[in-house]
Amino acid sequence: MSNEFLFIIKGGDQVLLHPFVPGALAFDRLDEVAVEGRFGIAAEGLVAETLRSQLNDQAGRSLRRHQLGKGYYLRLFASAGIFMAVYLFFSIVVRDPLPFVDEFLLSSLAAVAFFLLIERRILAASAFHATSVRLRQLIDTIFFVESRVVSMVETWREEYIMLGGGSFYRDIGALRTDALGEADLPEAEALCRHFAARWRNVALVRAIYDAIKLGNPISGLLDRLTRRLGKAEAALVMSYMKLLYILENGPSRER
């Protein structure tokens, strides 16, 4: 049985981080996964039915994308084969005054119809339905508890939103690298993995991390990050940087 974490982060716009994303291995082993919910400050009402409904919607969409992603290229090549077969059939057998336009349109329609038909059959299969039911059951059993790690991230995020980049410069040198105990490490590392996946395509995040490691100024990068992602999301990025700093420099790294 493997443990996964679901995080609810406030301190700004609410962010829901969960393991049920397209391509996640969790979809293929739902019977072997246990999910633990974590929240921080201002926890009232966070685990209401509206939250579970939101999670069900997000996870359901991800499951559909995950399932349709399997065999995608095979379906694409099969559709291309249908296109060529229909095109050649009408080109050779059927004579018309516009030999290219009609064949191309009919072949395209046949290929698209075939592709969509296969997708509908995949989503209508009993195996997909059973996985969907198991996913909803798993979400319904998630138990939420208060988290010191999430509370720290939310506090950092609020400070950045209120004070801007100055809060990061002020705090990074004063951070206690022993702020996390051994019991907090799996949760903190899981949260960092969620953050890394969230911004894996944002090169600015990596650039800021590298600049911090080298001791270079980051004010220009912060301005660009805020313009691109917005202040609340930029604040979450910088909270991620602080959490990474503690993980990489804490006593646990000396083992």
Across the chain, mean pLDDT equals 85
Per-residue pLDDT tens over the stretch 138-169: 888 888 888 999 999 999 999 889 888 777 76
What confidence tens digit (pLDDT) does each residue in 201-226 have?
999 999 999 998 888 888 899 999 99
Q: Which of 29-43, 174-188, 225-239 ranks highest by mean pLDDT?
A: 225-239
Residue 249 has pLDDT above 60, yes or no: yes
DSSP E strands in 92-174: the ranges are: 143-146
Q: How confident is the model at residue 189, as a pLDDT?
A: 94
Of 54, 62, 51, the C-alpha closest to 27 is 62
Residue position matching structure tokens 């249908």: 82
Q: Span 73-98, mean pLDDT?
A: 84
For 86-133, the pLDDT digits (tens) are: 988 888 776 665 567 778 888 999 999 999 999 999 999 988 899 899
Packed helices 148-163 and 231-249: angle between N→C axes, nearest 10 degrees: 130
For the chain, report the end-to-end CA distance as a whole number of angstroms.
26
9 strand-pairing partners: 15
Contacts of 226 (CB under 8 A, 6+ apart): 234
Over the stretch 2-45, which tens digit does the pLDDT of each residue have? 788 999 998 778 898 998 887 777 787 888 888 888 988 755 55
In sequence order, what are the residues at sequence separation of 6 or more whose Cβ sits closer than 8 angstroms to the Cβ of residue 153? Answer: 9, 11, 40, 191, 236, 239, 240, 243
Mean pLDDT of 222-242: 93
Long-range contacts of 226-231 (CB under 8 A, 24+ apart): 228/202, 228/204, 229/202, 231/160, 231/161
- Which H or E run contains 216? none
d(CA 120, CA 68) in angstroms, rounded, equals: 10
Residue 187 neighbours by CB distance under 10 Å? 19
